[in-house]
Structures are given as structure tokens and as C-alpha cells.
Amino acid sequence: MAQVTLLDGSIGQELVKRSGDRATPLWSTQVMIDHPKLVGEVHLDYFNVGATVATTNTYAVLRDRLVRIGLEDKVGQLTDTAVRAARRARAASGGKGRVAGAIGPLVQSYKPETCPPAAEAAKMYAEPVGLMKDHVDLFLLETMSSVDQAEGALRAVAGQGLPVWLAVSVDDHDGTRLRSGEPVADLAQTVAKHLPDAVLVNCSRPEAIGAALEVIKGFGVPFGAYGNGFAEISEGFLGDAPTVDALEQRKDMGPLDYAEYVMGWVGQGATIVGGCCEIGPAHIAEIARCLQAAGHEIV
């Protein structure tokens, strides 16, 4: 039996749901501004059902996103709020587990063509990296949807002395391809160059993830996945300044359904699993139960 790291589930979507507020282009960052206590509550709920990693609510705390509404001077304050919430939740749950500093895509999710080239992106990412490096246990680069996008993020975290997990998002209908259309296999050279501590698949339909993992397992590094529960990535969400109300939650991805996919990934050799958007504490609790029932050790 394997040792498996159990990530948390959705942070951003869970915050939006719990707030009850109208969705904005700032997504969960706006919720953190308006309801800062909610962030710690979400983290604590995940720890309490078995998660061993808290992912900071910093996915969209990026200067290029905040500058659009005049909040670019709040990058440091918001990063600090997010990181402290994760660390406090860990302490409240007994002090075990790790805090992963989340770094999301520049400009917009799922649209890597809008992201600056790797060299420029690395310079832009230097700010969140610098703000978090002394306060988190690892960096989690999320929803990287092209080879160049992954390259830029990996350059930014190089040499910081922390483990790095690269998470890529794949085509919902062909898991062998990134959302850019490039083959997942094209990441091999970038992975060999930067040697991240793990390569994951995130924010993709669970049905597409198995095919991606079959490719990634050949990279020679630990691998895993955390899928989403969206019905589809709508055209409305791919427009300018999207809001999450343009996305619909699947009705067929309850805890039992999702855990079945996760256990399939573990069967493929995945050692880091969890959930992304629309995957909540009940899902993570069911994954924990299934892992333990199968004899795996959650670490």
C-alpha cells in the first residue's frame, strides 16, 4: 500500500458559496476582503476531514489582476491575510500538515495565450514568490495550461529552497493535451530542466485526468491530480473579466462519484490527490475514508 498526500478541495469556489455574495471578477479575493474569517474556516474544515495540505487563497492575488480595479497596492496585505489563515487553521487542527503557497495563472485561467512569455511571467511572479517563500512549506503552481506558462512559473520559484509542485490543466475531452492544445508529453523537457518535486493535473474534468497521468507518470517524478466539478468551461467564462456564475456545478459528481475517480488515479500510481473547484469537504472526507479502507497511509 502507498503513502498518499491528501490535498484539500476547492478554496475559491467554497469561499464564494459560503459568502452568499454576488460573484465578481476578483473571485475569492473579494470574499477574502469582505469576509476574512471565512478563509480560515474553510481551511479548518478540510483539515478536520483528513486533508494534510492547506492551499492558500492566493491563486488570484496577483498584481496584474488587482491593478484592473485599483487594488495593486494590496498585494502584500492580501497575501499575508491568506497565508496567515492557512497557518492558523493548521495550528487549530493540531499543528500537523503543510501549507502550500498557491500561484495561479497570470491574466486569466484556461487562456494561456493571454499570459506573457515565460521570461516576463517569471519577473511578474517574483512578487508573490518573495511574499510567500518564508511563510509556506511548498509552492503549488496551479492551472498552468501551456508549456510556456509552466516554464514561466517554474523559473520564478527556482532556487527558493522550497519544494515545488507543478499542476497543469488539460483539455476536458482529451487528457493527453494541455488546454493550449499542446501534448502533455511536451512538458517532459521542462520537467527535466526544472525538476519540480511533483507534477499534478488540476482543474480538469475527472474523466480526462487518467489519460494525462499515463503520460506524466513517464516523467520520473511523483505525480497526482485534483479535478474539478464543473459541468463545462463555458464560453462566458472565457471572455474578458469573467465571473464564476458563468460556470455550473455538475450534478453527477458527489463525494462517492468523485472518490471513485480519485481511487482510480491512486491505482495508476498517484501519490498526491485532492479536489479543485466544486469539490468540497464532503468529497475530501470520502476520499480519506476510501484511502484508509484500501490500506493506504495518508501523509
Are 199 and 185 in contact, with CB atoms under 8 Å apart? no
User: Based on the structure, what is the number of domains in the chain?
Assistant: 1
Are 112 and 145 in contact, with CB atoms under 8 Å apart? yes
State the residue range of the domain holding 109.
3-298
pLDDT at 240: 53
pLDDT at 232: 63
Cα–Cα dist 277/295, whole Å: 27
Nearest in space to 6 (alpha carbons), one of 221, 271, 254, 264:
271
pLDDT in tens, the chain (299 residues): 899 999 999 999 999 999 988 877 788 999 999 999 999 999 999 999 999 999 999 999 999 999 988 889 999 999 999 999 999 999 999 999 999 999 999 999 999 999 999 999 999 999 999 999 999 999 999 999 999 999 999 999 999 999 999 999 999 999 999 999 999 999 999 999 999 999 999 999 999 999 999 999 999 999 999 999 987 664 554 545 554 554 578 889 999 999 999 999 999 999 999 999 999 999 999 999 999 999 999 99
pLDDT at 249: 82
Q: Which three cell numbers stand for residue 117?
A: 512569455
Q: Give the position of cell 474553510.
A: 42
Q: Residue 239's CB: how many other CB atoms inside 10 A?
A: 12
The size of the chain, in residues, is: 299
pLDDT at 233: 60
Residue ranges for the known binding site for Zn(2+) are 203, 276-277
Phi, then psi, of 92 in degrees rounded to 5:
-70, -25
pLDDT at 234: 47
pLDDT at 23: 74
DSSP string covering 175-237:
TTBBTTS-BGGGGHHHHHHH--SEEEEESS-HHHHHHHHHHHGGGSS-EEEEE--BS---TTT
Are 274 and 265 in contact, with CB atoms under 8 Å apart? no
* Alpha-carbon separation of residue 32 from 26, 38, 61, 69 (angstroms): 10, 7, 10, 16
Cα–Cα dist 109/101, whole Å: 17
Give ∠ CA 128-133-136 in degrees, rounded to 5.
Answer: 105
Per-residue burial over 25-44, b if 16 or more Cβ lie within 10 Å, else e, is bbbbbbbbeeeeebbbebbb
Q: In the chain, where do the E strands start and end?
A: 3-6, 53-55, 98-103, 138-144, 164-168, 198-202, 223-227, 272-275, 297-298
pLDDT at 66: 92
Q: Which three cell numbers stand for residue 299?
A: 501523509
Predicted model pTM: 0.94
Residue ranges for the known binding site are 203, 276-277
| CATH assignment at residue 187 | 3.20.20.330
